[in-house]
Amino acid sequence: MKTGYMHHALLAPAMALGLIVAASALPASAQTPASVGKIALRDQSNLSLRLAAERGLRAMTLEMARGHVASAKLPSGFPIPVATYGDLRTLSVGVGFEVNTIDPAALMYATRDADLSRIARGTDAWKFFILADGKPVALLDVAKVDGAWQVIGAGSSNLAADLAATAPMTGDGSFRFVRIYQATSDLVEVRGAGGGSRFLPMRSAQHALSISATSAKNQALSSESLLPALQTAVRGNLQRGQR
């Protein structure tokens, strides 16, 4: 899949766009960097991406709700976990972020002292949080189709919850999302105390790399500690794919 990254994503200016990890969300007018402190993730998108996400979410939810009364309950397993078809019309778009990746060759040839941050690259694939009453409930997928940004899917409620939970561990809300497809692992890159890159493993990475949930919650991991497990996972998946 086409992917890429620019390191300044971690330094993107804070934007109060509504991903607030709290029991109750502040109204949009109150969501300033000062008021949300260290519990807001920073937006990495631009105006054209955001407009495409907002238009796409509106069109998608209208189509989903077409022919249903607002009070009718959504079926079990619906990709956006809200209660009724009417709730779909109240959803909004939260912060957006690019999907970054690491090519399998770069990963497999990396030495023990390699910095995963330096070999990750960004993509033309983006995700936006879908908000219900200001709280993240799912993710919206946006990609370029025939040269224009378009919504291509929605769901991943578990990943949305994982990402929202990492917000306090990012410090100032800066983060970089890294998906290593061949290792079936999602990581969130944050800055460590010394300024170096460290990584928070999402549930997919915890499972694929045999990282305990307790360890994942307690600290961000270094490139050095993650690299052997990532290489093993990639090697195993590539070998299975060749059979």
**pLDDT for 216:** 64
Interval 130-143 mean pLDDT = 96
3-state secondary structure of 70: coil
Is the pLDDT confidence value at 16 over 70? no
Residue 55: pLDDT band with limits 50, 70, 90? very high
CA atoms of 112 and 21, how far apart (whole Å): 36
CA atoms of 78 and 87, how far apart (whole Å): 13
Residue 155 in tokens: 């769901």
Contact in structure between 175 and 189 (CB atoms under 8 Å): yes
Distant-in-sequence, close-in-space partners of 58: CB < 8 Å, separation ≥ 6? none
Is the pLDDT confidence value at 13 over 90? no
- pTM, rounded to two decimals: 0.81
Is the pLDDT confidence value at 241 over 60? yes
Is the pLDDT confidence value at 87 over 80? yes
Report pLDDT digits (tens) over 148-202: 999 999 999 999 999 999 888 888 889 999 999 999 999 999 986 666 789 999 9
Residue 36: pLDDT band with limits 50, 70, 90? very low
Query: What is the end-to-end Cα distance of the chain in Å, rounded?
Result: 21
**pLDDT for 141:** 98
Helices assigned H by DSSP within the chain: 33-36, 47-65, 85-88, 104-108, 116-119, 157-166, 203-208, 213-218, 223-241
- % of the chain with per-residue pLDDT over 90: 68
**pLDDT for 224:** 92
DSSP string, 34-61: HHHTTSBPPP---HHHHHHHHHHHHHHH
**pLDDT for 12:** 34
**pLDDT for 242:** 65
Q: Which of 99-103, 179-183, 190-194, 214-218 has the lowest mean pLDDT?
A: 214-218
User: How many Cβ atoms from other residues are within 10 Å of residue 167's Cβ?
Assistant: 23
3-state secondary structure of 90: coil
**pLDDT for 169:** 86
Q: Tokens 């306090």 sit at which residue?
A: 168
DSSP 220: P
